[in-house]
Amino acid sequence: MSPTVSLAGPPELDLVVMNPPFTRSVGGSQLLGSLKGAEHAKAREALADLIARPDVAGDLNAGLAAPFIELAHRSVRLGGRLALVLPKTVLTGESWAQTRERIASHWHVEHVITSHEAGRWNFSDSTELSEAIVIARKLHPDEDRSDATTAWTSLWRNPPTSIEALAVAAALRRSKPTYSGEAITVGEGLEAVVGEVFARPAPRDGAPWRHGTFSRSVLDAASEALLNREPVPLPCARAAISIPTTRIQDIAAVGPDRARIHDGFRRSPAVTGYRVLWGHDSTTLQTLQETCNGYLDPTPGREEYATKLWAASSCLMVAERLWLTTHRCIAVRLDQTALSNTFWPVTLKESSEEEQQLIVLWLNSTLGLTAFIGASEETRGPFIAMKKNKLRELPVIDAQSLSGEGRALLLGEWQHLAETPLQPLADLSHDPVRARIDRAFCEALNIPVEPIDALRSMLENEPRLAKPRPRRKGRDSGRDPDQQVLFPL
């Protein structure tokens, strides 16, 4: 009789610190990429079967990090802690929703740290992806967390050396985060301020954790209020301001993404009946009113599918992806219906040229841009993606709530501005077109101009909208010449 062999599971741990592999099957990369052929297929199938179990939370579309986090969840004792370095998409990405749900349901997310230093969005040396540090404590059964908060730290300077990192950690331990935020200082004077820490209610579910999007708590507060359709707290305003908005899903349908466009069509050198807005070149796509720039042919054998896709063509286009330092237009209106490989076609349920113009104006305003960035997913610093589910929930101006005078004012501005080039988003506060759009909305909605001007200026100074700067030296690779002395004798 063969002896029975029992395998010991992982021990109960007090602390797990983890920087799991980010690998996922995208582009030229593959999960379990070191394996080849049948061996890879077998391992991939086994991993998929494991992650599909009802008692396991995770989505392999998020990559290998998801099952690693599930393992950590099972390994930490009640009251123990978990510290994770993850792609920043863990905070808002759709494929990370199950992991967020697992953490939020069984853990108190105590601290989230993100880097907002231009060019140094990450904490790991081996990636250029934006990253986040998540620190959580495992909850006891029936633990009361009705008043639990999460400290959100936005680093304006990502410490390049271990000594500086220790100084920042010491400053965070001394901090007492509030809703309005507290500066993180590691010395004296303005140069000693390396970021801000602020408090928000702790996550309770898998919905996006958006508070790491902006570097300033005031921008976070404005964006969250816009996205939740609540009165908006604005800089310099005495009270929060109510703005009439409606969600895109309530007034429109969103068309196919770029993957379906590439599946159903191929570009055509000749004129066809299938028009397209191809690419998003900031040197040519500069105005609110644009024209189609090419044509498509149905992929051979996919003609019926292409016809179904074409039924979702529209004149109203909203950017699917943006490079915040160079792109100019969040949305445009075309002279003819079309599809796009870089924009979402949006078809209004009660479509009219005027309604489309009002939405394009809103999305290119400071308030519209603030909400758009807040709802998007950050991949690598300035590079953001607007997913279809996020776009459907995005608030836009409620045209039905506008007064006749306000509507006429905005449409009159469209006639003046539609073909005038916008400046790159990196020059937001120096863009006369954007300023005129903002002033038109202020007058139409009877809200003060000064808070919107202040918001636009703060938004332009967000590191992700800043023009590229040379990278600082890496972690422990040497001291910057102007590095301050953190521990003077």
Identify which of 225, 243, 134 has the alpha carbon closest to the alpha carbon of residue 179: 225
Q: Provide the β-strand partners of residue 201.
A: 149
Task: Say what the pLDDT of residue 7 is.
Answer: 54
Q: Quote the mean pLDDT of the chain.
A: 90
Residue 426 Cα distances to 128, 158, 334, 431, 467, angstroms: 21, 21, 24, 10, 6
Q: What is the DSSP string of 322-346?
A: EETTT---SEEEEEEEEEESSEEEE
Residue 418 Cα distances to 303, 443, 464, angstroms: 35, 19, 27
Q: What percent of the chain has pLDDT over 70?
A: 90
- Write phi, then psi, for 423 (nearest 5 degrees): -85, 160
Identify which has the larger pLDDT, 127 or 318.
318
- Write phi, then psi, for 52 (nearest 5 degrees): -85, -10
Contact criterion met (CB below 8 Å) for 18 and 85 = yes
Q: What is the DSSP string of 297-326?
A: EEPTT-HHHHHHHHTT-EEEEEESEEETTT
pLDDT, tens only, 403-433: 999 999 999 999 999 999 999 999 998 999 9
Domain layout of the chain by residue ranges: 13-26+35-212, 245-465
For residue 150, give the 3-state DSSP assignment.
strand
Task: Say what the pLDDT of residue 476 is.
Answer: 42
Q: At residue 195, does pLDDT exceed 80?
A: yes
The crossing angle, in degrees rounded to 10, of helices 449-460 and 366-375 is 50
Residue 47 pLDDT level (bands cut at 50, 70, 90): confident
Contact criterion met (CB below 8 Å) for 370 and 384 = no
Task: Say what the pLDDT of residue 487 is.
Answer: 33
Identify which of 294, 225, 232, 229 has the alpha carbon closest to the alpha carbon of residue 265: 294
Task: Say what the pLDDT of residue 190 is.
Answer: 63
pLDDT, tens only, 454-482: 999 999 999 999 876 554 444 444 434 33
Task: Say what the pLDDT of residue 482 is.
Answer: 37
pLDDT, tens only, 292-309: 999 999 999 999 999 999
52: burial class by Cβ within 10 Å (0-12, 13-18, 19+)?
A: exposed
141: burial class by Cβ within 10 Å (0-12, 13-18, 19+)?
A: exposed
Contact criterion met (CB below 8 Å) for 388 and 259 = no
Residue 201 Cα distances to 98, 100, 107, 146, angstroms: 20, 15, 13, 9
Quick one: CATH architecture of 245-465?
A: Alpha-Beta Complex (3.90)
End-to-end distance of the chain based on CA atoms, in angstroms? 72
Amino acid symbol at 130 = S
453-456-462 Cα angle (round to 5): 145
Task: Say what the pLDDT of residue 483 is.
Answer: 36
Least confident of 56-60, 315-319, 347-351, 383-387: 56-60
* Tokens standing for residue 26: 């995208």
* Tokens standing for residue 65: 């990090």
pLDDT, tens only, 102-125: 999 999 999 999 999 999 999 988
Cα within 13 Å of Cα(140), Cβ side: 3
Identify which of 386, 89, 377 has the alpha carbon closest to the alpha carbon of residue 257: 386
Q: In angstroms, rounded to a whole number, what is the distance separating the alpha carbons of residues 333 and 314?
A: 9
Which CATH class, in words, describes the domain spanning 13-26+35-212? Answer: alpha beta
Task: Say what the pLDDT of residue 10 is.
Answer: 67
Least confident of 10-24, 164-178, 322-336: 10-24
Q: What percent of the chain has pLDDT over 90?
A: 77
Task: Say what the pLDDT of residue 33 is.
Answer: 58
pLDDT, tens only, 255-280: 999 999 999 999 999 999 999 999 99
Residue 35 pLDDT level (bands cut at 50, 70, 90): low
pTM of structure? 0.90
Task: Say what the pLDDT of residue 15 is.
Answer: 96
Identify which has the larger pLDDT, 205 or 488.
205
Q: At residue 488, does pLDDT exceed 70?
A: no
pLDDT, tens only, 213-244: 999 999 999 999 999 999 999 998 989 999 99
Q: At residue 181, does pLDDT exceed 90?
A: yes
Task: Say what the pLDDT of residue 443 is.
Answer: 97
